[in-house]
A and B are shown apart, each in its own frame.
Chain A
Amino acid sequence: MHDPQPLSRPPRNGLRWALIAGAVVVAGGAFAYVGGWLTSHRLTAQRLVDELQRNGGGVHPGYRRNHAKGVCVAGYFEGNGNASAYSTASVFAVGRTPVVGRFAIPGGNPYAPDGSVPIRSLALRFNLPNGQQWRTGMNSMPVFPVATPQAFYAQQVASRKDPATGKPDPAKLAAFFAAHPETAAFRAWAKTARPSASFITESYYGLDAFYFIDAQGGRHAVRWRMAPEATDTNPAPAGDDNYLVSDLKQRLARGPQRWHLLVTLAAPGDPTDDATKVWPADRTTIDAGTLVLTGEQPQDNGPCRDINYDPTVLPAGIAISDDPLLPARSAAYADSYLRRTREEAHVPGTTAPTHAPPEAAR
């Protein structure tokens, strides 16, 4: 080839080098900005999970960063065809879809006493015959405290435990609630809610709105809940921190336990982007089928352990709404799943799990 030397040393080479450096810095800076490294106040999935981790009492290797204490269940969903006019998802047709589920209580501490919170949760993964899945994470209250991930984060920050008392600072919580009047409906529920003695007797609400998509492509805004057949609510036993699993084992030993999937159709104007607001009680509700749970297994080795119950994993026929909590749940659950599976896999930089409660937590 030729020798470029004679013409490659013009006097403006400094400017040319600056141009090259500038292009690299701009590209690298844009990448860092999009990744959230340059904006320490922007809420990211990682910051949200860090906060949940902190409120759960630090890292419990191998466990979920929220709803850490739970138990695996298995069974099936028996569709009755009632919802098929609204959604093409095969799970709603007449027939059985296998389900792997998980009961849990909220919070990041896998050793928390069952009576420490009035909320119970049920997560389900429906395995459809076409290989698609429907995953849902439901809670035993009809409304969520907040409507946005930013408010949820603020609630977690306000709930940080005071190192002196080991409890959240009541003044900070009060300030948070004062600044977030949308929490009123949840607080009204929480005032009367008592920790139930059983997972089986609870209703579990999907909270977020979704769309059912029918065969003509029509979209129907919906919310769903699982309503129990068993209603023999008893007071929680005293002196036992782990009564929920004992109760679950006893009841499943007696036979399968059932819930009805109740799907509520929104009327025009009902909010789909605000999980703090219930829809009016007169909305059409469809009994779409029966959830039948037949067995349980500990979460340390049960089939639910390795499932991320991301509520945005949906089959054709169900789609997410504009509820801002849904993408945040998806992003945060993915980060939590990555952290705990890395711990299980002993990826360098993580703490390997022991799956034994520390003495202090017993």
Chain B
Amino acid sequence: MSTVRTTFSLPARVLHWTMAALILAMLFIGVGMVATVSEKHQWLLAIHKPLGLAILLLAIVRLVVRLRNPPPPLPEDLPALQKLAAHLSHWLLYALMIAMPLIGWAMLSAGGYPVMLSASLRLPAILPENALVFAWLRTAHGVFAYLLFLTFLAHMGAALYHGLIRRDGVLRSMVGGQARNPSPPMPDGAGVVNGRPTD
């Protein structure tokens, strides 16, 4: 009997939706805080740093969960180009969610700033002070933030395409719950998730 999953594991789903909220919030905080001159600048900055560290730690946990729990396969009839785009965009998302906090931390270190997570909690510097390194890292932090946001838009658009147009179970595999796929019951046991029948 095959044990092909149709949904992501529960830890993967919890991590996905938690991090989706955190990363989206982080992107809006970031783009807002570099523009605003209001008092929001200070409290957005105060949220940005500890939230970035939280995302880094969650991303590492998530990478481990992902490597230990292979995701459900994409639909076999998905065109090869879309499969490739799906795989590349997912690994790009993983790379960025790990790289962004590290670049932010390294950039503040290189800029000579104390990396304060609160009024008194300080992270150690991970690079020596160097304004040229700061300039490149700060530039990368901004460019990668836009890239991450664009990748998020593509990811969200693709998820909705799977859920609303193809209705092929891909969105359902991350939303979780009962498979409501209108296709005939799968005789090979693919409807068994985490050892439990889905019906």
Which A residues lie at the B interface, using CB under 8 A? 1-4, 7-8, 13, 16-17, 19-20, 23-24, 27-28, 30-31, 34-36, 43-46, 48, 130-133, 149, 213, 305-308, 312-313, 316, 319-320, 322, 324, 326-328, 330-332, 334-335, 337-338, 341-342, 344-345, 347
Q: Given A45-B36, A327-B39: A344 and B164 within 8 A (CB)?
A: no
Task: In the A-B complex, list the 8 residue pairs whose CB atoms are closest, starting with the nearest.
Answer: A2-B183, A316-B120, A306-B131, A345-B135, A341-B135, A328-B37, A327-B41, A36-B35
Contacts A8-B167, A345-B132 known; A24 to B153 CB distance under 8 Å? Answer: yes
Q: Are A34 and B28 in contact (CB under 8 A)?
A: yes
Q: Which residues of A contact B36 (CB under 8 A)?
A: 36, 44-45, 327, 331
Give the total of B residues in contact with A, Cβ under 8 Å: 57
B160→A20 contact, CB < 8 A: yes
Q: Are B181 and A45 in contact (CB under 8 A)?
A: no
Q: Are A327 and B111 in contact (CB under 8 A)?
A: no
Contacts of B169 in A (CB 8 A): 1
Q: Indicate if the CB atoms of B139 and A347 lie closer than 8 Å.
A: yes
B199 at interface (Cβ–Cβ under 8 A)?
no
Q: Are A4 and B168 in contact (CB under 8 A)?
A: yes
Given the known A-B contacts A34-B31, A35-B35, are A305 and B131 also in contact in the complex, defined by CB atoms under 8 Å? yes
- CB of A31 within 8 A of CB of B27, answer yes
Taken together as a complex, chains A and B put the C-alpha atoms of A16 and B161 apart, in Å, by 8
The answer to whether B37 and A132 touch across the interface, beta carbons within 8 angstroms, is no
Complex contact B160–A48 (CB within 8 A): no
| Interchain Cβ contacts under 8 Å between A and B, 29 examples | A1-B76, A8-B165, A17-B165, A19-B160, A20-B160, A20-B161, A23-B160, A31-B27, A45-B35, A45-B36, A46-B35, A48-B37, A131-B122, A132-B116, A149-B38, A306-B130, A307-B112, A308-B113, A312-B42, A322-B39, A324-B38, A327-B42, A328-B41, A332-B37, A334-B34, A341-B111, A341-B135, A342-B139, A347-B139
Q: Per-residue 0/1 for B157-178: is the Cβ within 8 Å of any A Cβ (1 yes, 0 no)?
A: 1001100111111000000000
Q: Determine if B94 is an interface residue (Cβ-Cβ < 8 Å).
A: no
Quote the shortest CB–CB distance from A41 to chain B (angstroms).
Answer: 13
Chain A residues in 8 Å Cβ range of B161: 20
Question: Looking across the interface, which residue of chain A has its beta carbon closest to that of B190?
Answer: A1
A124 to B: closest C-beta gap in Å = 14
Q: Output the nearest chain A residue to B24 by Cβ-Cβ distance.
A: A27
Bound Cα distance A281, B129 (Å): 42
Name the one of A17, A328, A342 contacting B135, with C-beta atoms under 8 angstroms: A342
**19 new A-B pairs (CB below 8 Å) besides A31-B27, A43-B37?**
A1-B73, A1-B76, A3-B183, A7-B167, A16-B165, A23-B156, A23-B160, A27-B152, A30-B28, A45-B37, A131-B122, A306-B111, A313-B114, A320-B42, A326-B42, A327-B42, A328-B37, A331-B34, A342-B139
Kindly state the separation between the CA atoms of A330 and B35 in the bound complex, as whole angstroms.
11
Shortest A294–chain B CB gap in Å is 21
Complex Cα gap A66–B31 (Å): 24
A31 touching B132 by the CB < 8 A rule? no
B131/A338 in contact, CB under 8 A: no
Residues of A within 8 A of B132 (CB): 341, 344-345
Given contacts A2-B184, A24-B156, A132-B116, contact A327 B40 (CB under 8 A): yes
